[in-house]
Homo-oligomer: A and B are copies of this chain.
Amino acid sequence: MVEQKMLALGKKSSVIREIFEYGKRRKAEIGAENVFDFSLGNPSIPAPQAVTDALLEMVQNTDPVALHGYTSAPGDLGVRKAIAEHINKNFGVAAAPERIYMTCGAAASLTVTLNALVNDGEEVVVLAPFFPEYRVFAEKAGAKVVVVPCRESDFQIDFDKLSAAITEKTKAIIVNSPNNPTGVVLSAETVKALADLLNEKQKAFSTDIFLIADEPYRELSYDMQVPYLPCYYDNTVVCYSYSKSLSLPGERIGYIFVAPNVSDGNDVFAAVCGAGRALGFVCAPSLLQYVVGKCVDVPSDIEAYRRNRDLLYTALCEDGFTVIKPDGAFYLFMKSPEPDANAFCERAKKHELLLVPSDDFGFPGYVRISYCVSEDTIRRSLPAFKSLAAEYLK
């Protein structure tokens, strides 16, 4: 008898994957150009030329024994220095390389951090809607997951509900801004209020409450600078990934940054190192470590995503749908015109539109539209959205 929770997890395919697989079959039937697949968050923009250049340069000019050899367990010191300098320069936070742990991508950043922080039975708060794997990662780390829905008016934090949910058992809260699935960026005002609330609760309970900033979409912000959480709240651990900013989702490269003023910060970092060991993550993939070390200042190419957002957002509003305007990432959150978003998604399929119902994100009644597709796909999909809308306006 294998481990039963792992078996159940392995057997239950995610809704997103199911729709994606349906899309593959449907494309084979009627041609890829006739299916409008908005299911997956796989960047459609190629990695910047600087990344390809760095890869070729490293492989051509570096001794393979050094290039492919073990780095130190938390990552190559030179790479960690480059990342620390980037953080200092951009956010004015005194980041030290000794507080940066290179990881095998965003999922690894989160699992290592959660396993480092959470003692069995402690609580981790997530703000709905949220990336469904948060629950999987946190529960495997021994946490009880507490879901707090956002305000439906603008998908900022509902502080009354959050305040009521924080207890003396709260070890951490995961914040994801720009958000998957809403595309909403938490405003500076919201972040300040969040810091105030957490400081107040820490004092009331004499505990440490960690803010885990899941930041793979940080650079994909269209209209505003995303507030950097360590500037607002001391007990912040940043979980970063280059998957989206450098269009390297398959390469699994990112880092954990334990902010300078985290209480017992050296212990937190040591626990991160311990969790990295115990989960099997020491030494993130070396070649990609060196590549991102050379590309820390390479800007993300977000103009294509912005064009997609503007096109789609404008059209869906005109169609009469209720849509949250995305500030960043490449997701658009749209209210289902009927209460059951699954039924709505089935109806959308008849128009060859593949959308993801929001139930698994902990906030039913909506759909997620991943617009990291070609602009041409967006343009050609608009009549289908219009016909879909017409069905509900009849």
Contacts and interface: CB of A to CB of B under 8 A. Distances in A.
B68 A250 contact: yes
Nearest to A268: B2
A198 interface: no
A111 B7 contact: no
Interface stretch (A225-233, A275-283, A338-346, A357-365): A275-283
Contacts of A274: 3, 5-11
Per DSSP, chain A at the interface is: helix
A251 B60 CA distance: 16
Nearest to A246: B68
B3 A280 contact: no
Contacts of A275: 3, 6, 9-10
Given A6-B274, A64-B247, A274-B6, A281 B119 contact: no
B279 A279 contact: yes
Nearest to A11: B270
Interface stretch (A40-48, A189-197, A325-333): A40-48
A6 B248 contact: no
Identify which of A8, A44, A67, A268 gathers the most chain B CB atoms within 10 Å of its CB: A67
Identify which of A60, A118, A272, A279 gathers the most chain B CB atoms within 10 Å of its CB: A279
Interface string A113-142: 001111100000000000001001101100
Contacts of A71: 250
B10 A270 contact: yes
A205 interface: no
17 contacts: A3-B118, A7-B270, A9-B278, A10-B116, A10-B271, A40-B70, A46-B63, A55-B287, A64-B247, A70-B249, A70-B250, A104-B252, A107-B281, A136-B277, A251-B286, A252-B285, A252-B286
Interface of A: 1-11, 17, 40, 42-47, 51-52, 55-56, 59-60, 63-65, 67-71, 73, 104-105, 107-112, 115-119, 133, 136-137, 139-140, 208, 247-253, 264, 267-289
